[in-house]
Structure 1
């Protein structure tokens, strides 16, 4: 089984197990079963309960055609990188940073299915791309900057100081945090997690006081809130540098 190492902005490699072609193919087949079941059910309901032919056509286009055209985009967006098939097979889409893909990335990889799934090329184009890609990416993944991995990462992103700030309208408060190294921040994160787990306010106070002294920061925040804010500030500033 191939493993994918994703370098983060904090000099720590996250290791993910790449989803193999078999799992991806079965996930795709499951998704098509879901799609066919949805089409048959909604089509039957429209034909049975709607008598006006024009209304039937409109509803078939809007209630059946549109959701099925946008199936992969909608499911992967609403299910944080998964579709029903991917969920069943224990795989998901992540960005090359290891976090949840953005709406734009999901849209791009969904649009590329248009040239990947015509009947004459069914499964051939994506399988060739996956086989030739070092990260087992199909064409849509290559363009969108995404990969498909097993849902259980060998090392969790939560084990690092990484926080996904991409979807937040965030305003950093302590720019001095950039004076600390990744190693320093990882130690702060480790001590903060320990203090939170053990409800050790004394430890949190000691860490916060030390950081305030080194960075010459004055604040009225609680110690725990201050340390959390520091980590969020660091993530926001580093990932936008």
Structure 2
């Protein structure tokens, strides 16, 4: 399996397993089943006969409504990855997700570039096929199907032959799709999950070193799991001794947890 190694701001190496071609293919199949299911039920349960009777003779308006019905399918990957933090429903089921090549959460711009450039290796050919059919234009469907297949193969071969299993959209957006099944856990590193709106409490934590933070976290996790309150108290007192922090938390667990988050906040911001 291909792996992606990322060095954090704390000089900790984290290795991610890159999603395989098989995982990407199954994700693609699941997502397309969802899309086609939507199209099927949309046309089955919406009263298009009523619409056609109301707009009788106005064929362009009828076709415009057909296209509007297809918009959720067109933007499915984009809004799914934005709302589900790098995952579509297919990716969620296969436990894979999109991340920035440097390990960060992709921006909306990254997701948009990635989605838009599916026109190169996926969607362009699909959209030609779908919209020509929706508009009812005369066309050689054998050629359209051939173009559709060629478009899929472009993306498929890019994923196979690029070093990080990236299609064209990934290459341009600096994103990569990783597997979450054996992803290195944050608990195995000194990293903590903090939100963009997180407000630190103890600026003095910058007096700690990466090694200090690692030891604190390892000791904290073991003591917390064992409900070893004596060790937690000793750890709290040692942190206060080294950093000179005046604790605003009476609970040892809360205090140490905030210290670790603050350390991550300040070191990641530097």
- Give the shorter-chain TM-score range: 0.7 to 0.9
- The correspondence of residues 144-223 of structure 1 with structure 2, limited to 5 A, is 144-165=173-194, 167-222=195-250, 223=252
> 1:38-79 CA deviation, whole Å, 9 max, x = no partner?
0121122223585444997676555x2331121001222333
In structure 2, runs of 5+ residues without a counterpart are 126-146
Q: Structure 1 pair 34/234, CA: closer, same or farther in 2 (3 Å)? A: same
SS in 1 for 2:46: helix
**C-alpha distance 88-169 of structure 1, shift in aligned 2 (>3 A):** closer
Q: Distance in 2 between matches of 1:184 and 1:131?
A: 42
8 Å Cα contact 1:99-1:164 kept in structure 2: no
Q: Does 1:86 align with 2:91?
A: yes
Contact 1:46 1:59 in 2 (8 A): no
What is the match of residue 18 of structure 1? 18
Shift of 1:35: 0.6
Change over 3 Å in CA distance of 1:59–1:182 after alignment to 2: farther
Counterpart in the other structure of 1:231: 260
Give the TM-score of the pair, scaled to structure 1. Answer: 0.85
Corresponding residue pairs, total: 239
Q: Give, in whole Å, the separation in 1 of the partners of 2:113 and 2:193.
A: 20
1:188 deviates by 0.8
* Secondary structure of residue in 1 paired with 2:266: helix
Q: Which moved more, 1:89-98 or 1:69-78?
A: 89-98
Correspondence for 1:43: 43
Who is 2:100 aligned against?
95
For residues 189 and 41 of structure 1, do their structure 2 counterparts lie closer, same or farther at Cα, with a shift above 3 Å needed? Answer: same
Q: Distance in 2 between matches of 1:76 and 1:12?
A: 27
Larger Rg computed on CA atoms: 2
Structure 1 gap ranges (5+): none
**TM superposition shift of 1:213:** 0.9
| Conservation of the 8 A alpha-carbon contact between 1:14 and 1:156 | no
> How far, CA to CA, are the matches of 2:91 and 2:248 in structure 1?
46
